[in-house]
Amino acid sequence: MANQRHSTAKRASAVAPLRQRPVGIYTTDEEPSLDNARDDFHPEEDTGLGGEDRRQGEKTFARWLEVETWRRPEISDMSSIMMAVESACKTLSALVKRAQTDDLAGMYHGGDSGGVNIQGEAQKKLDVVSNRIMVAQLCSPGGLSCVASEEEEYPQMCSTVVGHSAFTGEYAAVFDPLDGSANIGAGLPCGTIFGILKRPPGGKVGPRTVMQSGKRLLAAGYCLYGGQTNLVLTLGNGVQQFTLDPKRGEFVLTQPNMRIPIRGSLYSANEANSHAWDGRIQDYVNDLKTGRGPSGQQYQSRYNGALIADIHNILHYGGIFLYPADNKNPNGKLRLLYEGNPIGMIVEQAGGAASTGFQRILDVPPLNTHHRIPTFFGSPEDVYDLCAYLKRPL
């Protein structure tokens, strides 16, 4: 007891001087200066958080991929493609952070289209740069026959991109190079979505490799650029989250085997369009807001204006993301190849559900490379509830 009282008194005397003068109040001779500032302060070490020990136990993306391909030799051919994705995400993450200072946040007015993509949407400078980076990075290692981007009308052959016939393979990539680019000017989250397909048995290598339903995806993922940069990936065997360590410049595994809650308490939707939704979807969302839905729970709204940011939130906390068809987009807004299928695969691999409201998204056969669909992603119970509402008579 004596030792305990002595230890308590010692701590009290050490803290006492801090209590005697409010923070920020100094006498003239106590005013802190940069000359006396510590240049050896490392938060993870000085706060006892064990940062160095933790980093020694972390698994980098490259190491995780090496182990995964050793366990599953059938995916080893995709190793160089996955490393190209990781490299592209690092490059784009840096560009997004410098968008304002490097004058990349503004609108793009060049090219034959005058700054409008194939969707008829105005492009930002970073949309164009991101697309070029993704095309170049994915085609460079070899293994891909073609790449298809949301920003372009037709898939590109990698042999044409690189300028050599040796750059081909049995795989194809689909991607949205910069989802949520409208957020860049305000410094809000945006990201990259991608999926990898393989030439179907008996099929020819070429642009039509991308024209397959989502259930034939071998890999899918997204890179989220925000307060931190996350790479979320599935190779068809669960979902892993990697976070970019800015100190080392490496992605490290931070959440293995992500699982979405069976039911959540969040909904994510652009309610500015709600007046043009199917009345049954309006009823569903109103019931979520008032607690009259099947769960009896009142849901909260979260909407970031970037599909990836909203999906990332739903993956972690559960709930439902909705982008229904409306009067302006009767077939839906999001693209099946570039958004619906990759996100659908990720959500399903995490234990969730992905539906058009009437059909599993991964079962939808693409009609063209820019096929649009209504999309509902999230916790299985929440998506099933939504689908039940749509079975009601109009």
Note the pLDDT of residue 26: 33
322: tokens are 């909705």
Distance from C-alpha of 322 to C-alpha of 327, rounded to nearest angstrom: 15
Task: List % helix, strand, coil for the chain (3-state, nearest 5).
Answer: 40, 20, 40
Residue 282 sits at the vertex; the CA angle it makes with 288 and 311, to the nearest 5 degrees, is 60
DSSP 336: I
Looking at residue 24, its pLDDT comes to 36
- Pairing mode of beta strands 250-255, 239-245: antiparallel
Q: Which one, of 196, 204, 265, 261, lies nearest residue 235 by Cα?
A: 196
What's the sign of the alpha-carbon dihedral 106, 110, 114, 118?
negative
Contact between residue 174 and residue 184 where contact means Cβ atoms under 8 Å apart: no
Residue 287 to residues 156, 269, 291, 297, 321: CA-CA distances in angstroms?
Answer: 46, 14, 6, 9, 15
Residue pLDDT tens, the chain, 394 long: 455 444 444 444 444 433 343 333 333 444 444 444 444 445 444 444 545 444 556 799 999 999 999 999 999 999 999 999 999 999 999 999 998 888 877 776 665 555 666 666 677 789 999 999 999 999 999 999 999 999 999 999 999 999 999 999 999 999 999 999 889 888 899 999 999 999 988 888 889 999 999 999 999 999 999 999 999 999 999 999 999 999 999 999 999 999 999 999 999 999 999 999 999 999 999 999 999 999 999 999 999 999 999 999 999 999 999 999 999 999 999 999 999 999 999 999 999 999 999 999 999 999 999 999 999 999 999 999 999 999 999 8
Per-residue model confidence (pLDDT) at position 34: 41
Residues 6+ apart with CB under 8 A from 344: 214, 354, 360, 361, 362, 377
Domains (range + CATH), the chain: 58-255 (3.30.540.10), 266-390 (3.40.190.80)
